[in-house]
Amino acid sequence: MEMEDPEEAKHRLAQFLIYKALEKADPRARQSCFRVRVSKLKIKMGRRLKRLRKTMLLTMSAAKRGLYKQVCSRFKRLVRGGQTMVIG
């Protein structure tokens, strides 16, 4: 068997280590891009949920106002005796 030159062994080891480092760095780059996409998506979803919540609150308050008006008008009519019921 031939003995390997120490310089050549160091060079081969360095190449192997560089290859391993590049192999690890590749998925990291993809993950960071993925993380950016996910964070942008979260922001988008948050904005939509906020808008939906505001719309729901507005709708609910409008419905409450309508119901309140209806109850008040019926109560006033009952107190004033505007329409009397005929039982007979």
What digits encode the pLDDT tens for the residues 7-64?
Answer: 999 999 999 999 998 888 776 666 677 888 888 999 999 999 999 999 999 999 999 9
The CA-atom distances, in angstroms, between 5 and each of 13, 15, 34, 39, 62 are: 12, 15, 45, 51, 86
Q: Is 64 part of any domain? A: yes
Going by the DSSP 8-state scheme, the letter that residue 81 receives in this structure is: T
pLDDT of residue 81: 76
Q: Is 13 part of any domain? A: no
Going by the DSSP 8-state scheme, the letter that residue 87 receives in this structure is: P
For residues 9 and 16, give the distance between their C-alpha atoms in angstroms, rounded to a whole number: 11
Into how many domains does the chain fold? 1
Structural domain including 42 reads 24-84
pLDDT of residue 86: 57
Over 60: is that where the pLDDT of 84 sits?
no
pLDDT of residue 79: 87
